[in-house]
Structure 1
Amino acid sequence: MLFAVPTLRRQYAAWWFIGAGFLPLAFLLPLYYKRAFHLGVFQRGVLGSLGAAAAFAGVLLAGKWTASWLAKGMGEPLKRAGWVLVAVGPGLLLLAWAPNLPLAIIVAVVVSFIGGMFTPAFITTQAFVSPARVRSLSFGFGLLFIVAGVWVLWIVPGVSRVSDHDGIRWAIAALTPYWIIGGLILRSGHKFVAADVGRAFAILTTTAELHRRRLSASANSILVCQDVDVSYGQVQVLFGVNLDLAEGEIIALLGTNGAGKSTLLRAISGLVPVQRGAIFFDGEDVTGMEPEDTFAAGLVQVPGGRGIFPSLTVRENLEVAAWASGRPRADAAASVHEILDLFPSLERRIEQQASVLSGGEQQMLTLGQAFVGRPRLLMIDELSLGLAPIVVEELLRLVRRIHEEGTAVILVEQSVNLALTVAERAVFMEKGEIRFAGPTSELLERDDILRAVFLGAATVETVT
């Protein structure tokens, strides 16, 4: 989720270079005073304290200025923080070649002061752009890049040995590029800040609103998609998709081939990253959550083209689903027996590998796995694809059964007739956007949408 925020990606990239410039400087500077000016331990300690005081003064001053920078634009503090880091680079060159101690002390104090000014602007920006759910993680995660930068950019390339081979002054000077490059990378992130702040606040606002609804409303939304954008590489597939699903509701998600229906399901499940927008499940922000975590939360997707383990037997497939659900063994076993009662053909082939089942039987097994897990939300992608009508009717019987037990269902279909016999509400997608959302009775009055669905399905059949 953190890497889905462009500003954070730039900040983490900058941390590699900041780490390679800052941490080595912390222990090279006392060595510089010792080797270049032959100062003792106490004197070096005093100068270290003076530098720390200067850095603190820079933090205090920049803390006051950050408010005025924000007034000029949300990205202004990060831009200033980048320039501050860039300014440290030339300061280190002056420090490295200072001809006498007084000048070295003055330069060191000024550099420390400038370096301190970086902190308030940087932290403010990171706090604003980080989604509330992972804000503390975003700060802790950055420390990993600081340490990694020391190893990858300073120790491994051999820069750490400059002090021994070429002298302490060259060692200080060698840190200059890290500060300049890190500052320029950090500054480049300022153009993303406004959009990322808007997204973070939208997520926070929606989360608060969902919690308020759950306390005051009688009907709860189990799924909310808000302004969701998804891209595959440079190709954008979803454009500002908004979807709301009530708890226990069943909807039909319709659209022609390539409309973005399957991509929306994959985004909800965490299988593809969301570039913009937010997804909430049961009142919690699940945007960017890993698929195993969304499954554990009760969100299950049945993929198109079957979702079984072909090398396992029918029994083993159902046992895996029972184990993954985390339900008590007795309850899961009862659900397995229920599935076998509903689908006698699976019971007859219980010890056979799933790969030898017919297409319809494989889809039965896939739905059976979902039934065993007792999900809060079940998303089914192309239930009827390539199956005989009699098999589809058997599958629909199980879908209704799952729904009757309180599970919300999203049924992706190209068959309008099939979808409308099951769903209470329909959503129609075209070219990555939702063009219609409402009761199925209203959809039947929209000839333009029905024509698009039927023509799209006919085109697919013709090509096939």
Structure 2
Amino acid sequence: MSRSLPTSPTDVGVDEVPTLEASVRDAARTAVGISGDITIPKWKVAAPTSARRRVLGLSLINASISLPLTTLLLLSPEIARDNNWTTTTVGGTVIAAAILAGLVGAPLSDRVPFNRRTAASVVFAVNSAVFALLMNLIPAFGWFLLVALARGVLFGLGAPIWRTLAFDSTVPEARARAIARTHMGTLIGSALGGACAWIAIAGLTIGTGQALLLSGILAVILSLGSLLLTETKVGGAEPDRLRRAMGQVDDPVAGLRPSWSESTLRVRSIPTVKFALTSYVAIGWCAGAALIVPVIRLSQARELTDGTAALVITIASAVAFLTLYLVARGLEKSVRRSPESLAAVIPVGLIIGFAGLLLIGLVRPVISPQLALATIGGFLAWVALDITMLSVIQPEDRPTAVGISLFSAIGGSLLALLVISAVSSLIGGSAAYAVAFAVASLPMILFWRRSKKLIRAVGPDLDARLGVDDETQDFDEAVAESGSVPVLSARNIDFAYGSVQVLFDVSMRVNEGEMVALLGPNGVGKTTLLRVLSGLESPQAGVVRLAGDNVTDVNASKRVALGLSQIVGGNAVFGSMTVYENLMMYGFSLGRDRASIKEGIDEAFQVFPKIADRRNQLGSTLSGGEQQMLGLSKALITKPKILVVDEFSLGLAPIVVGELLEMVRQLNARGTAILVVEQSVNVALNLVDRCYFMEKGEIVYEGNAKDLLAQPELVQALSLGGHPTAADSDPVTLDKSGSPA
């Protein structure tokens, strides 16, 4: 986010700078709920009525999802027997629906407009419950499969929205209790689903079909709780609080909806998220193992009656619900202390969960306490993990992160199912149960180690998201010292094609209204650097900023919208289109605003009359110079803050190059900053204000173009790939913003 710093580092004493940086970080963290104040008000005080309604609605939605699923899983042997199916068929259908939720539903959910989340939540929740009801009306496997898959897609569509709404529903200080309460809804549904199954299995008044129908009806009723939802801003109160605390202006990047692929790239580049996804696999593993407990007991050990197995699920869910309610205030204290304090809850929850799995196998025949322990641990880790992961992610990327975490959790459940089933089938007999769950508890060691890394990563990642990390503060200090924000800057960029590193710690900048050249022999990384600056490649390290905003993980099309355009030498024209059609095609980067597009085209024709004379001529029939003119004229349509031009004089006659240079000067005179990559050193130095020379993927020289023209020996050495000697020039040291120190 763009920050307006109240003071420059030069305005305070050296000893005061660390204190200033600490106060900025504290202000940012306080704005997102990490205040250090562990005085926890009552829920009604912490959350206004609208927030409590949203949380209640989301809790009921979660209950409507888990209720029919639990009933279906517990009654799967009876369903298979009554319909002459196999238990594997029923289980396989549930698995297919889960996979579809992760693969199809979650990515599609990312397309729901931010201002339509509430309406989408109602549609997905109610329809999911209706499909759960319809699943049981027609006893045909094709119908059962179709409806189950449709419900899986609906769940995948809704889950990312529901979980991000839970995160946004209250002020940050009350977030832990809000998310805990929505997860408690899942436990309510599991308890009710277990009760429906128990009534049917025990033969109390209703049979299997009636129990499934009852669970569907209850799910529909619970799903109507979605009507309690009200729309809230993306990020809730957090973005406004953060801007007020930090003196920030609106972030143009945050206003743009990222694509699924772009958002996935940004999310997966955050260390905390990488470690968190492993923990989601662990939670899914724990949940998957817990769900098949009754199946293993019934088919292998035969230590429980059918009705008791369902009753165990009901009791365990109820105990976990009560426990989560009691510990929610403690979780909120952890949120307020520090991000590391909350993240430390995750491995604790995982240990409790896997200890419960181990005890399920070792302590028999009573399994309600063991299963309750596994459920408590899993949900405790889940709540802490949701808050930890989403807190380090920008609000617009959170639905994508939830979708990825959903897929990870589903994968963990399927792995647990395969491992426990395979081990129990291989061993057989009563010993199978103990061995299977002992094996299921072994991954705890791996998950424990990864969660410890998560604890170390969350603090720096949160500061980076808030813009108070070391890199951002260093950039702000450099800007405060220079008095201006570069229109384009790159700092400490590393880039590799596979295992071959091409760019090494590259830093550079282009100031507003400036013309800068990037020079050097062939193969030194100039074009690769341009691709990184334009968003066509993602660096392994470093930061790219456009007008001060971090756009490192913003894709090329979004960077065009933010004011960066690139013209590639020899490749800027569609040959099968006319000049006018080329300009129209480029103009659509503005969206569907035809008036703005037409205005830009008219301006291009006015400034570049040669192009206007050929408006109906095919691009392929233009000369090389005319094609470059057409490429440059496109910049007048989008009116970029900075235009990046790659090898615009390549293969052109000197007289044509002279015309192009004049066009570039006209564009610059209109306020567009220019970055030129050019092999012709003389052409570039007569055009630009400053220049950078690259050699072997590094910036080896930065200086004033006029000064360099007066040193032909130095120009020759740099052009041939040689470093400037001490006699030629003093070495140039770049500061952290890419400026000369």
For 1:371, the equivalent position in structure 2 comes to 636
Change (3 A) 1:334 1:211: same
- Deviation by residue 1:291-336 (Cα, 9 ceiling, x = unmatched): 1111111111112332222322222101112232348545533442
Contact 1:32-1:168 at 8 Å conserved across structures: no
AA matched with 1:332: I
CA–CA distance in structure 2, aligned partners of residues 293 and 32 of structure 1: 52
Shift in Å, 1:381:
1.2
Change (3 A) 1:120 1:158: closer
Out of 439, 443, 460, the residue aligned to residue 708 of structure 2 is: 443
Out of 616, 619, 624, the residue aligned to residue 359 of structure 1 is: 624
CA–CA distance in structure 2, aligned partners of residues 270 and 187 of structure 1: 35
CA–CA distance in structure 1, aligned partners of residues 388 and 304 of structure 2: 40
The question of 1:144 aligning with 2:144 is answered no
Superposed, 1:70-81 pairs within 5 Å as: none
Shift in Å, 1:36:
4.2
Superposed, 1:147-162 pairs within 5 Å as: 148-149=410-411, 153=415
For 2:318, the equivalent position in structure 1 comes to 49
Out of 561, 584, 587, the residue aligned to residue 319 of structure 1 is: 584
Out of 540, 558, 571, the residue aligned to residue 293 of structure 1 is: 558
In the alignment of these two chains, the number of paired residues is 445
For 2:282, the equivalent position in structure 1 comes to 18
Contact 1:63-1:121 at 8 Å conserved across structures: no
Change (3 A) 1:344 1:456: farther
CA–CA distance in structure 2, aligned partners of residues 29 and 158 of structure 1: 10
Contact 2:573-2:619 at 8 Å conserved across structures: yes
Describe the SS at the equivalent of 2:449.
helix
CA–CA distance in structure 1, aligned partners of residues 538 and 442 of structure 2: 32
Moved more, 369-378 or 151-160: 151-160
Out of 513, 528, 535, the residue aligned to residue 263 of structure 1 is: 528
AA matched with 1:145: F
Could you list the runs of 5+ residues in structure 2 that have no partner in the other structure? 1-265, 723-741
CA–CA distance in structure 2, aligned partners of residues 176 and 356 of structure 1: 74
- Deviation by residue 1:13-66 (Cα, 9 ceiling, x = unmatched): 553x336414434544577789743438666534333345567889959987x9
Out of 256, 261, 267, the residue aligned to residue 2 of structure 1 is: 267
CA–CA distance in structure 2, aligned partners of residues 395 and 167 of structure 1: 84
Out of 660, 666, 670, the residue aligned to residue 395 of structure 1 is: 660
For 1:187, the equivalent position in structure 2 comes to 449
CA–CA distance in structure 1, aligned partners of residues 458 and 712 of structure 2: 40
CA–CA distance in structure 2, aligned partners of residues 323 and 61 of structure 1: 49
CA–CA distance in structure 2, aligned partners of residues 432 and 198 of structure 1: 29
AA matched with 1:260: G
Describe the SS at the equivalent of 2:405.
helix
CA–CA distance in structure 1, aligned partners of residues 411 and 520 of structure 2: 48
Moved more, 199-208 or 260-269: 199-208
Could you list the runs of 5+ residues in structure 1 that have no partner in the other structure? 72-76, 458-464
Describe the SS at the equivalent of 1:242.
strand
Contact 2:646-2:676 at 8 Å conserved across structures: yes
Change (3 A) 1:42 1:13: closer
Describe the SS at the equivalent of 1:422.
coil
Change (3 A) 1:176 1:417: farther
CA–CA distance in structure 1, aligned partners of residues 602 and 547 of structure 2: 29
Shift in Å, 1:378:
0.9
CA–CA distance in structure 2, aligned partners of residues 32 and 54 of structure 1: 26
CA–CA distance in structure 1, aligned partners of residues 362 and 559 of structure 2: 57
Change (3 A) 1:228 1:168: farther
Shift in Å, 1:192:
8.9
Describe the SS at the equivalent of 2:507.
strand
Shift in Å, 1:106:
4.9
CA–CA distance in structure 1, aligned partners of residues 560 and 521 of structure 2: 28
Contact 1:86-1:181 at 8 Å conserved across structures: no
Contact 1:88-1:111 at 8 Å conserved across structures: yes
